[in-house]
Every structure is written in C-alpha cells, then in structure tokens.
C-alpha cells in the first residue's frame, strides 16, 4: 500500500512537472528589433489639401482649414517572424531626431508625436496622391521629456500600447511587413512653423532610421496544447505500468 502511494505521488509530481514544462515552452518570449525601415518618407500637409493635391485633410483623419505638421510613412520588414498568433508584451519606436530642434519641451508635451495604422499598398516611390490614408487607431503617443543636447542629434523612444498593437502586429507578420504613419497634430500657422519634428530616415549614412522594437510571445493553438498534454499523460501512464 505504501509503495502504491509513493508511486502515485511520483506520477502526480511527474505529470505536474511535465505540464509546467509544456506551459514554459509554449510561453517562451521573444524579442525583435526591426531597424532601418525598408521604406520611409515625409509628406507635408497644408490646410487646404494634402501636399498640394485636392485630397482634403478630412480624408486623413484631420480637421480641414488648419495647417498641420507633416506625416511620415514607415514600413518595416517583419518577415523574420514566422506567421502565427502572438501576444505583444511591449513595443516601442525609437527615432533619432535632428540636432537643435526649434520646439521646446512644453510644446512637445502639448503636441505629442503619434503612430497610427495605415494600409500596406505603398512604397518610397508611390506618388503622394496615391498614398493610403492613415487610419484612426493611435497605437502610441509620446512627448519628449529628456534634456535636449546642444548641437547633437538625440534619440527619442515612443512606447506603443501592446494590447492594441497585438492584432496589428499579427496581421503584419502574416503579410511580412508592418506599416505605420507618424504624425503630430501641430497647427503650424499658429506656432509659426516652429514645432516640427524631424528625424533621420533609412537613407542617412550616419544615423539610424526609425527602429521598431517588439517583445512578443507565441500563443499556441488550443488543439496543439491538448495534443501535447495528452501525449505527456500517456507517457506517464506507460511509466506507471512499467513500474507497477
């Protein structure tokens, strides 16, 4: 009787350990840094259209009649991540801003830099009038709060909302590329064109372009988890029979 209880206890411990091992393997986290966008570029908006065309700002989610700061289209190659279902735990974008900006810390707090969704049907040679409109989902919004060095370029990291970004990241991984638009809601006419964020692109020889950092965890399909657990349970049963 005591030996049977010992065997039952060993089997239970083995099953628990095996289950924990499966959970640990299934929840192993990964981190990826996608540097140097495969396409990026700046487009400037005017209060009466979009970069001189007849497409009004309302089509881009902005109010007409006010001159806003420019927008930047960014595209990263994410094909290094295998298609699947992932949960994003953290995500951020780091830009390298030009030296000696005209804006102040207070102005940056008032007019943060935003990153919103956008379609994938564009490239660096796409005509301005054919660029897809930015979407309405703001994945990240940030102001610069550090000390601005004199005469030096400086990095600025904007965190993205991991919960909101997860679905977009999964869709981008399936497509092999991730597209975002950076914009700042700065009424340049009232600010005398001073609050304009300007950072380096992928074509600069000295500084890095915008870097996308994502920490993510693969989410296993329910069927695969059940199959793995069933296999381990069967293995434990074989061990019990051999030792009984």
Span 129-182, pLDDT tens digits: 677 878 889 999 999 998 999 999 999 999 999 999 999 999 999 999 999 988
DSSP 103: S
Query: Do residues 210 and 115 lie in contact, with contact meaning Cβ atoms separated by under 8 Å?
Result: no
Is the per-residue pLDDT at 47 higher than 80? Answer: no
pTM equals 0.73
pLDDT band at 205 (very low <50, low <70, confident <90, very high): confident
DSSP 164: H
**Other C-beta atoms within 10 Å of 85: how many?**
13
pLDDT band at 35 (very low <50, low <70, confident <90, very high): confident
Separation in Å, CA 221 to CA 27, 31, 70, 80, 169: 12, 20, 42, 21, 17
Per-residue model confidence (pLDDT) at position 237: 55
pLDDT band at 21 (very low <50, low <70, confident <90, very high): very low
- The whole-angstrom separation of Cα 6 and Cα 11 is 9
Separation in Å, CA 7 to CA 11, 20, 229, 237: 6, 20, 20, 11
**Other C-beta atoms within 10 Å of 141: how many?**
16
pLDDT band at 50 (very low <50, low <70, confident <90, very high): very low
Residue 50 has φ and ψ, to the nearest 5°, of: -115, 105
Q: What's the chain's average pLDDT?
A: 74
Per-residue model confidence (pLDDT) at position 240: 53
């Amino acid at each position: 009787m005591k030996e049977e209880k010992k065997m039952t206890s060993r089997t239970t411990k083995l099953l628990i350990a095996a289950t924990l091992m499966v959970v640990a393997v299934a929840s192993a986290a990964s981190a990826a840094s996608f540097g140097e966008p495969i396409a990026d570029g700046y487009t400037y908006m005017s209060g009466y259209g979009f970069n001189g065309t007849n497409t009004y700002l309302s089509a881009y989610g902005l109010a007409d009649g006010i001159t806003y700061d420019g927008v930047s289209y960014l595209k990263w190659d994410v094909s290094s991540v295998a298609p699947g279902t992932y949960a994003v735990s953290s995500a951020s974008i780091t830009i390298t801003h030009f030296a000696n900006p005209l804006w102040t810390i207070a102005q940056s707090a008032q007019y943060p830099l935003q990153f919103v969704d956008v379609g994938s049907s564009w490239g660096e040679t796409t005509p301005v009038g054919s660029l897809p409109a930015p979407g309405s989902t703001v994945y990240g919004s940030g102001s610069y709060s550090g000390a601005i060095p004199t005469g030096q370029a400086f990095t600025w990291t904007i965190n993205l909302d991991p919960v909101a970004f997860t679905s977009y990241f999964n869709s981008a991984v399936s497509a092999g590329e991730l597209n975002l638009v950076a914009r700042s809601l700065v009424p340049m006419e009232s600010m005398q064109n001073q609050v304009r964020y300007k950072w380096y692109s992928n074509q600069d020889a000295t500084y890095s372009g915008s870097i996308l950092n994502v920490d993510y965890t693969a989410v296993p399909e329910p069927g695969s988890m059940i199959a793995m657990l069933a296999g381990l349970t069967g293995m434990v049963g074989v061990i019990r029979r051999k030792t009984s």
